[in-house]
Structure 1
Amino acid sequence: MPDASAYPMWRYQRRFQLAADAMARSAFSSLDEAIEARLFLVGFRRDEATEGPAACVEPDGLGHDASLFATVPALADELYREDPEHRTRPADSVAQQSPYDRVLLRSWQRAVERTMAREEDAAVWRSFASWPVDVEDYRVVCVLQLPDEPVAAYYALNRDTVDDYYRVATSLLDALAEVFLTECGKALGEHHPGRSRRVVDSTISELHRNAGRGMTQTLAWVCRSYESVHALYDALCDLAATRYEGAPTRGRLLVSAREHPNVERMVEFDQPVLLEDTRAARKLLEVTSGTLCALSEGAELHGLGRLSGAYDEEREDLFVVDFVDHQAWQLSHGGQVLMRVHYGQPGLPVQPLDAGKLRSTIRRIFRGIGDEDITRLRLMVRAATRQANGTLLVISDHAAEEARRLAVQSTLIRPTVLTASLVHSLSAIDGALLVDPQ
């Protein structure tokens, strides 16, 4: 049994932190192995009359001293009083006097995040805070940190609030951070949090799908399509999974307010079609081609049209959904991919191939390889990355030997000099290509 004197917040604080940290690492590294997340706890004593330090950090080896958070309670109170939602409510309202007041909880969250933003390592780590949860004598906040460099490589929206205080996701990683911290908050609210081995009940796949839903909720909020806030992601997945006369779903959907200045409506439906009416919506997608797109504000298809004029990307209120293959679609803004979805599972956009790094890696692994072979391999790898559903290209000095070993479960071909176009064609089906570097 843990020594209570060593863990002033509550008996199982260390076990909770270790389990949550491990889950965070898995959740983010499975999207991109370069994103090595970490999580720590910070607790604030709720009553000055009780014993124990005013603020605690678990663990204490990350360089965040408890004194850093000494001003958080005062800052949270200041943010609470300045919050637009708080100012518009009667002083004697029930919500305002409740410890579960969402404005109060949100103020604590923002106070911790602002405090972390002033830290010396703020340029190295991006910090996200959960809503606080009262655990025994302490108000506890989970702080999730993501390394800035790999996260910054992915496109993200700038606007993170709607109507001044409703928080929306700016990227899939941002959405996953919110989903994960919400799960941690629920776990903190359980009896003796950390006592059981598992802290977060959701699987990694479930966390990712909920993050995908969070990303599409941004569209619904921005387009004021409130009825589609919780349904848009699954409706798009259902559309991508529905064939029309045996053909996979392909087409383009523009998501914006109905009267967007950069959307030219060419056909208006007399009766809009709900996106959740999968068969009818899928049939209408079949007529989209080239610049002709289906139009939606998030809940229903109301016509056909096209992009028009020069869109001001700072508006962040016009999004594109491309259905690229069976059960495969992607969400974009301003020509930048925000999220790719394959068989209901969201993923990050494919990063542009770093030709210099690839060339260096090939030289390091295959000693003595010539420039011509390096160029050929680089073009083959680039062709493989363009597959809509991904593929596997295995480059080995022992390719011929390995091919013979796998002969029963593969299709052998005679030694052939592969070109980029041939690689793209051969990798269109499930499986892997085995290639000799020469």
Structure 2
Amino acid sequence: MWDYQFQFLMSQTGTCKILFKLLDEDFTPEVFLVGILTKERNDRSPACVYPEDDFCIHSSAFNMVLKTAEEILQGYPERQLRRNHPLERERQDDDELWRRSVRDAIRQVIENNSNKLQDMVYFVAYPATVEGYLVSVVIGLQQDILKKYSDLTLDSVPLHEFLSIPVAKSLTDAVVESYLNKVYGELQLSEPGYEKSKLNAEEILRDGANRFMMGLAFRVDQGAERRYSFLSSCTNIARTYYEGTEGAGTIVLARKDHPSLEQVIQFQTPSKLWETKASRKLLQLASQDFALHTNSEDLFGLVKKKKFDDQQEELFTINVLGHHHWTVSHNEQILMGVRYGQPYLPKPPFDENKLGKDISVIFKEDITQESIDLIVTLVREAERERHGTMLVISSIAKEEAERLSKGGTRISPKTLTADLLRNLTSIDGAVLLNPEGTCYALGVILDGIATKYESSARGARYNSAIRYIHSSKYPALAVVVSEDGGVDFISNLNFDEHQ
């Protein structure tokens, strides 16, 4: 299609791989180019896929894209709009809508092709004109990884019968959109691929997070003018101290008159969310039973949430967890977290059935089903600890509590409940218990020999558990709850298969 397509593809593939591994280390994105010839020429193919040998669909499958695009274009509701000025009408039809129809036609060919890989989800960029071809970047992501994370249902907000505004359903979708918009811009350069790409994976990730938060704000209140600063407002509030203390509290994102909110305190003169010092001060009031109420722009007061099922996806919760750390949730499901300005996807909840089976294998005849159910309940409660925690279940917990007594607090044996555990995990160190759920020590500092299974990418709590379990000669399981959500299970049965 053009001289530097190889260099362009290699550069974009590298950026794409770095970008999506920032979201999940298991992502292995595929990147392809699809080009559609705009005017028939004997020396050019009507459609090109590059690299064709690596893509599941042959170039010829895209030969009729322009015809399909014309049919798709006629079906857009926006085509029914009648603008006053004929030049404006022409620009609307021939530019944005036309390119969108070509993108949608390419996507339709991919989705309907029998050779499409069923375990991949493909995303298509707007096409840019390069050497007579309309060239789109296509990326593929593994479906099983995408399904691991919570997302929203609605992908657009209707403004009127002829126009709906698309909004991202997840952080991943928003990052995909940001990346595809950036590569569309790269394709518009005079010789794409000739010079080194200036795209930066971390900047695209932050841009995607900003798009996602703007979309949440738009779902809630289409009239909020400063929704573009919603992400930075939340980050600034989370990083700001108030009288020497870290921030911790809840902010509810919803329209002013949302029926699922009970107003407790109304501010007569609403503060602005982006006024960091004022907002951070008011967050002190939202650290117990109340939440600050905002539409992404104004702070209306303090509210309580009523029980509801938000099928319209018009109410979201921002939890400030500590210095430079916050999450946004919908219906108790975390959609995104931000730590020190870096967006991340929350780890998915643990599989309770799998954990129960693993416990029975680890401790064999030493554990009953009743004890397994109790351990699963305790893990479920530990998962809620905002600042992370660790449980260590050992077949010789009593002896280990005595051996490690200098690095922890021994207690009289006590069978734990979820309510009791909730009050025991706020200190550093591990909670040490036996397979029956009987606790023998709190705040235990674990020992162990350094091992190849440690990871420099993980924190001290995780690596401490790795060393301890790897060194243990008796059946044991460490449950590591990280501060950014998610649970790691580490047993001494098989270190190559720990989660």
Output the TM-score relative to the length of structure 1. Answer: 0.82
Match for residue 42 of structure 1? 34
Q: In 2 relative to 1, CA 75–258 (structure 1 residues): closer, same or farther, beyond 3 Å?
A: farther
**1:133 is aligned with what amino acid?**
A
Q: Provide the secondary structure at the position in 2 that maps to 1:63.
A: coil
Match for residue 19 of structure 2? 27
Q: Provide the secondary structure at the position in 2 that maps to 1:101.
A: helix
Match of 2:63 among 47, 70, 79: 70
Shift of 1:244: 1.1
Q: In 2 relative to 1, CA 230–305 (structure 1 residues): closer, same or farther, beyond 3 Å?
A: same
Match for residue 481 of structure 2? none
Match of 2:468 among 423, 426, 435: 435
Shift of 1:360: 9.0
Unaligned runs of 5+ in 1: 1-8, 395-411
Q: Are 1:130 and 1:185, in contact at CA under 8 Å, matched by a contact in 2? A: yes
Q: In 2 relative to 1, CA 426–277 (structure 1 residues): closer, same or farther, beyond 3 Å?
A: farther
1:186 counterpart = 2:215: no
Q: Are 2:407 and 2:445, in contact at CA under 8 Å, matched by a contact in 1? A: no
Using the alignment, how far apart are the partners of 2:362 and 2:295 within structure 1?
54
Q: In 2 relative to 1, CA 322–353 (structure 1 residues): closer, same or farther, beyond 3 Å?
A: same
Q: In 2 relative to 1, CA 240–113 (structure 1 residues): closer, same or farther, beyond 3 Å?
A: same
Q: Are 1:13 and 1:194, in contact at CA under 8 Å, matched by a contact in 2? A: yes
Match for residue 266 of structure 1? 264
Greater CA drift, 380-389 or 260-269: 380-389
Unaligned runs of 5+ in 2: 393-405, 411-429, 434-438, 447-458, 475-499
Match for residue 81 of structure 2? 88
Match of 1:116 among 110, 134, 142: 110
User: What percentage of residue pairs aligned between the two structures are identical?
Assistant: 28
Q: Are 1:29 and 1:35, in contact at CA under 8 Å, matched by a contact in 2? A: yes
Of the two, which has the highest radius of gyration? Answer: 2
Q: Provide the secondary structure at the position in 1 that maps to 2:286.
A: coil
Q: Provide the secondary structure at the position in 2 that maps to 1:94.
A: helix
Shift of 1:161: 1.5
Q: Provide the secondary structure at the position in 1 that maps to 2:140.
A: strand
Q: Are 1:225 and 1:299, in contact at CA under 8 Å, matched by a contact in 2? A: no
1:133 counterpart = 2:162: no
**1:287 is aligned with what amino acid?**
L
Greater CA drift, 60-69 or 92-101: 92-101
**1:181 is aligned with what amino acid?**
L
**Deviation by residue 1:363-401 (Cα, 9 ceiling, x = unmatched):** 9xxxx975579x99999998986664668999xxxxxxx
Shift of 1:84: 2.5
Q: Provide the secondary structure at the position in 1 that maps to 2:134.
A: strand
Match for residue 337 of structure 1? 334
Shift of 1:253: 1.0
Shift of 1:32: 1.0
RMSD (Å) for aligned C-alpha atoms: 3.5
Using the alignment, how far apart are the partners of 1:424 and 1:327 within structure 2?
25
Q: Are 1:50 and 1:137, in contact at CA under 8 Å, matched by a contact in 2? A: no
5 Å matches for 1:35-434? 35-49=27-41, 51-60=43-52, 61-90=54-83, 92-94=86-88, 96-97=90-91, 101-120=95-114, 121=116, 123-163=118-158, 164-196=163-195, 198-199=196-197, 201-222=198-219, 223-311=221-309, 313-354=310-351, 371=364, 388=386, 419=432, 431-432=460-461, 433=464, 434=467
Q: In 2 relative to 1, CA 230–37 (structure 1 residues): closer, same or farther, beyond 3 Å?
A: same
Using the alignment, how far apart are the partners of 1:157 and 1:352 within structure 2?
17
Q: In 2 relative to 1, CA 263–119 (structure 1 residues): closer, same or farther, beyond 3 Å?
A: farther
Using the alignment, how far apart are the partners of 2:378 and 2:442 within structure 1?
6
Q: Are 2:22 and 2:344, in contact at CA under 8 Å, matched by a contact in 1? A: no
Q: Are 1:380 and 1:419, in contact at CA under 8 Å, matched by a contact in 2? A: no
Using the alignment, how far apart are the partners of 1:16 and 1:384 within structure 2?
47
Shift of 1:98: 6.9
Q: Are 1:319 and 1:331, in contact at CA under 8 Å, matched by a contact in 2? A: yes
Using the alignment, how far apart are the partners of 2:346 and 2:442 within structure 1?
21
Q: Are 1:330 and 1:340, in contact at CA under 8 Å, matched by a contact in 2? A: yes
Using the alignment, how far apart are the partners of 1:389 and 1:52 within structure 2?
60
Shift of 1:54: 0.5
Output the TM-score relative to the length of structure 2. Answer: 0.72
Match for residue 413 of structure 2? none
Shift of 1:43: 0.4
Q: Are 2:293 and 2:303, in contact at CA under 8 Å, matched by a contact in 1? A: yes
Number of residue-to-residue matches in the alignment = 405
**1:240 is aligned with what amino acid?**
A
**2:143 is aligned with what amino acid?**
D
Greater CA drift, 75-84 or 269-278: 75-84
Using the alignment, how far apart are the partners of 1:114 and 1:210 within structure 2?
27
**2:37 is aligned with what amino acid?**
R
Shift of 1:297: 0.8
Match for residue 5 of structure 1? none
Q: Are 1:295 and 1:303, in contact at CA under 8 Å, matched by a contact in 2? A: yes
Q: Are 1:393 and 1:435, in contact at CA under 8 Å, matched by a contact in 2? A: no
Greater CA drift, 26-35 or 235-244: 26-35
**2:229 is aligned with what amino acid?**
A
